[in-house]
């Protein structure tokens, strides 16, 4: 999965007009448009044609760079998760008794910022309503994020622990940022961190 996303080479096959297609920015523009469209409509209601239109390119070019809609989605998810995927290493390196707070602070920080929130929202909306999108989520998030956290825990059931900690974080984000349940939605972020951190800490490290 990392090949097509990281690859700087021009595509091997040629289709459509070569002028804009050759631009290094075209791929990024398609990905940004895909994120926007998936975020606004969810996986089911987003078509490759809409993504192409939003990116100002021909549909054939989207297929050419990415393949199917599922593959465009996977690439968009992968780009969206890139910062998060690098985070566990740093977050898990510090003192073990502060890992809960560091993870919660990082996760809520990503959700607090509208720019970084949009792709997460796109993934969540799509994965909840579509099985193909859910499979992409499982493959990327489970295999990478959860396993990376679990690998650092020297405890039985490390993956289950990481997933239940993730459940508290995902649930908090869902109720605060998506469903906007009050008083949680308007609570000071530091107050939320203070309440959620010990719980995440407990999931991850309590014997």
Candidate residues 20, 45, 105, 152; the one interacting with a copy of itself per rule CB under 8 A: 45
Q: Identify which of residues 20 and 45 has a Cβ nearer to a copy of itself in the complex.
A: 45
Q: How far is the CB of 53 from a copy of itself (least distance, A)?
A: 20
182 contacts a copy of itself (rule: CB under 8 A): yes
134 contacts a copy of itself (rule: CB under 8 A): yes
How far apart CA 176 and CA 173 sit, in angstroms, is: 5
100 contacts a copy of itself (rule: CB under 8 A): no
CB–CB of 126/45 below 8 Å? no
How far apart CA 123 and CA 81 sit, in angstroms, is: 10
Chain residues that interact with a copy of itself, rule: CB under 8 A: 42, 44-45, 124-125, 127-129, 134, 137-138, 141-142, 146, 157, 159-161, 163-164, 166-172, 174-176, 178-184, 187, 191-192, 195-196, 198-199, 202-203
């Amino acid at each position: 999965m990392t090949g097509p996303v990281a690859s700087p080479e021009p595509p091997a096959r040629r289709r459509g007009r070569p002028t804009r297609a050759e631009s290094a920015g075209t791929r990024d523009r398609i990905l940004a448009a895909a994120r926007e469209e998936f975020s606004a409509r969810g996986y089911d209601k987003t078509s490759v044609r809409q993504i192409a239109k939003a990116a100002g390119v021909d549909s054939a070019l989207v297929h050419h760079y990415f393949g199917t809609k599922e593959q465009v989605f996977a690439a968009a998810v992968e780009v969206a998760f890139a910062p998060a995927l690098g985070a566990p290493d740093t977050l898990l390196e510090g003192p073990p008794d502060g890992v809960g707070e560091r993870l919660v602070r990082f996760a809520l920080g990503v959700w607090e910022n509208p720019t970084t929130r949009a792709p997460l929202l796109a993934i969540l909306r799509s994965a909840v309503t579509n099985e193909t999108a859910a499979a992409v989520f499982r493959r990327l998030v489970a295999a990478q994020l959860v396993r990376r956290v679990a690998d650092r825990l020297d405890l039985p059931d490390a993956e289950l622990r990481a997933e239940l900690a993730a459940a508290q974080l995902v649930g908090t984000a869902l109720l605060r940022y998506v469903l906007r349940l009050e008083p949680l939605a308007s609570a000071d972020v530091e107050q939320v961190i203070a309440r959620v951190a010990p719980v995440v800490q407990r999931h991850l490290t309590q014997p």
